[in-house]
Chain A
Amino acid sequence: MLRVAVLHPDDTDGRQLTQQLQRIGCQVQAFWPPMPTLPEGTDVVFLAVQPEISQLEFAWAKAENPPTCIAVVNYENPTIVETVLRLGAKAVLPAPVRSFGLLSALVIARTVNDEIQGHARRIRKLESKLTGVRRIAEAKGILMRTRNVTEEQAYDLIRDQAMSKRVTTEDIAAAIINANDILSMGAPRVEGAGGLN
């Protein structure tokens, strides 16, 4: 069951919102004025973006895996639109709130939020993969210089070490780079493989 926090004044719109969310099977808690932290495990936040909260900052909106935020607005001027963007809302529900349209907004916002978080995870993974590849290339270069081996032999050395120590090739590469940094302390720094040493 979807856990939904409704941060909206307890007025016609707030009640309409809460009731429709309950009708479509959500577990709803309503709060106003908005508090800085959300109940544990909140999946979705409906937030009334009203002029008086346009200056507020919400820590949950900036968290690593934020809940899906849907803005409820009754002004459409740049001040409010900017606040909606700043809060990272994934959908906007115009007030006065109608029951029709809420379900679609909820589904779209959840999907967009999941996609964005999926992309973010994938980007983090790719970034660390890329760092690893760069490290291995650097470690190979170090081995090629200090051991006078070919690139292929250098890689084999790294892979064998990784297998025998049961760690990743990236870890071994990092260890080689660290060791090299320490061993070459004080020595003139030489860039690239096949240098003058």
Chain B
Amino acid sequence: MARTGERNKGPIRVGVLFSETGVTSTIGRSQLQGTLLAIDEVNAAGGVGGREIVPVICDAQSNPARYALLAEHLITDQKVNVIFGCYMSSSRKAVLPVIEKWNKLLFYPTLYEGFEFSNNIIYTGAAPNQNSVQLAEFMTANFGARVYLIGSDYIYPYESNRIMGDLVLQRPDSEKLAERYVPLDAGLADFDAIMEDVRAQRPDFIFSTVVGDSTASLYRAYAQAGFDPRTMPIASLTTSEAEISQMGWDVAAGHYTSAPYFQSIDSDSNRGCLARLRQRFGSECVPNLCWEAAYFQLHMFANALRDSGDDDIAQIMPHLLGSEFDAPQGRVRIDPSNHHTCLFPRIGRAEATGQFTIVREARRPVHPDPYLVTHSLGDWTAKLHEQR
């Protein structure tokens, strides 16, 4: 580290900005734990060139305005150059202008609806071509193309539903039966009228973009209505092991989720990572796709920092772009042209054990295409392989 001088000898302070409370706190806490586990691992292995990584943790309470305030606080008062954080698009949009104003770096470990690029953000969750396209392909091929869309009332569901609708409608005999939105804090009763409508319309499958705590209410309302996942399952991009643990395993069984990561991935790297997580946090953490992204992005940051010796964005960015890492999901890579990540799309079916059976899996990483330049079903680069 000699070339970077005296000021780069002490510990490296990084901002960690997730929601430990509020409607998206289940995922937020898991993302925090993924981040902290990776920091522990880096520090246990001697830090970055002998320097320890020290997290400065703030709780944004699932509130976009608070995300913006805390990002400003982390940068101006805590003097961090890098922040790991955000879940809902509204939180990322709130932090983005702050990050750009101070020319700092944000790592965003969450799938989102795409149509964004910032020089100051590294996106490690799935873009729509890495989850929506595969899910549309799988659901329409196996269940039919009459879809019923249900989402939380904000931008990610609007846009994701639009993308899913466009994809499904490429099929013959396809139909978008309805597009319904519920508040972010929706309870069981908010789904009553929707379930009655589902009963009347009999879709081939339901596409859910409900996020946070209200996810459990949707799946419970479905179960109470007596519907059968074998003939009319719910398909989602956000219903992970964490949401399933909230709703009850039996309620989730039989429904499908498209994600680059499931706990059930059969690899040494994944099993090892899960074992270390349990050792560190016990069973309170429920690993999921956003947890995994939070985990591997911290390691990618540490590796890049090892090369650059400085966490200033101008110094570290060239070492991040194009870098690769053996993540629990497989070997991921940050695409230099759009700052999103090459990932391994998978389709999982929830089981009564609280785990997903992976029924489709990409053998090669799929390049991120945040602006959906290519967005047709049957695109060979997005093809998944059947798991046996």
Contact = CB atoms under 8 A, between A and B. Distances in A.
Interface of A: 51-52, 54, 74-80, 95-96
B162 interface: yes
A77 B155 contact: yes
Contacts of A76: 115-116
Contacts of A75: 89, 93, 115-116, 155
Given A51-B158, A54-B158, A77 B115 contact: yes
B93 A78 contact: no
B40 interface: no
B227 interface: no
A74 B113 CA distance: 14
A7 B154 CA distance: 20
B154 A51 contact: yes
Contacts of B158: 51, 54, 79
- What 5 pairs across the A-B complex have the smallest Cβ distances? A77-B115, A51-B155, A96-B97, A79-B158, A77-B159
A52 B93 CA distance: 14
Contacts of B159: 77-79
Main secondary structure of the interface of A (DSSP, over half): loop
Nearest to A13: B97
A95 to B, nearest CB: 7
Contacts of B115: 75-78
A141 B231 CA distance: 70
B388 interface: no
Given A74-B93, A96-B97, 9 more contacts: A75-B89, A75-B155, A77-B114, A77-B116, A77-B155, A77-B159, A78-B159, A79-B155, A96-B101
A95 B155 contact: no
Contacts of A95: 97
A74 B115 CA distance: 11
17 contacts: A51-B155, A51-B158, A52-B153, A54-B158, A74-B93, A75-B116, A76-B115, A77-B113, A77-B115, A77-B159, A78-B115, A78-B159, A78-B162, A79-B162, A95-B97, A96-B100, A96-B101
Interface in B148-191: 153-155, 158-159, 162
Contacts of B116: 75-77
A52 B90 CA distance: 11
Contacts of B90: 51
A96 B100 CA distance: 10
Contacts of B100: 96
Interface in B75-108: 89-90, 93, 97, 100-101
Contacts of B113: 77
A159 B105 CA distance: 78
Nearest to A50: B155
Contacts of B154: 51-52
Contacts of B93: 74-75
Contacts of B114: 77
B369 to A, nearest CB: 14
Nearest to B181: A55
B71 to A, nearest CB: 13
Nearest to B100: A96
B340 to A, nearest CB: 15
A80 B154 CA distance: 12
Contacts of A54: 158
B263 to A, nearest CB: 31
Which of B89, B101, B114, B159 is most buried by chain A, counting CB atoms within 10 A of its CB? Answer: B159
A77 B89 CA distance: 12
B333 to A, nearest CB: 25
Contacts of B97: 95-96
Contacts of A77: 113-116, 155, 159
B179 to A, nearest CB: 11
A54 B153 CA distance: 11
Contacts of B155: 51, 75, 77, 79-80
B139 to A, nearest CB: 21
Interface centre among A52, A74, A76, A77 (most CB of B within 10 A): A77
A160 B31 CA distance: 88
Contacts of B89: 75
A124 B70 CA distance: 56
Nearest to A97: B97
Nearest to A77: B115
Give the one of B113, B155, B159 with max A CB within 10 A: B155
A54 B100 CA distance: 26
B105 to A, nearest CB: 18
A74 B94 CA distance: 10
A77 B92 CA distance: 14
Contacts of B153: 52
Interface string B31-49: 0000000000000000000
A36 B339 CA distance: 41
A111 B231 CA distance: 57
Nearest to A78: B162
Query: Which of B100, B115, B153 gathers most chain A CB within 10 Å?
Result: B115
A31 B258 CA distance: 42
A79 B89 CA distance: 14
Interface in B128-164: 153-155, 158-159, 162
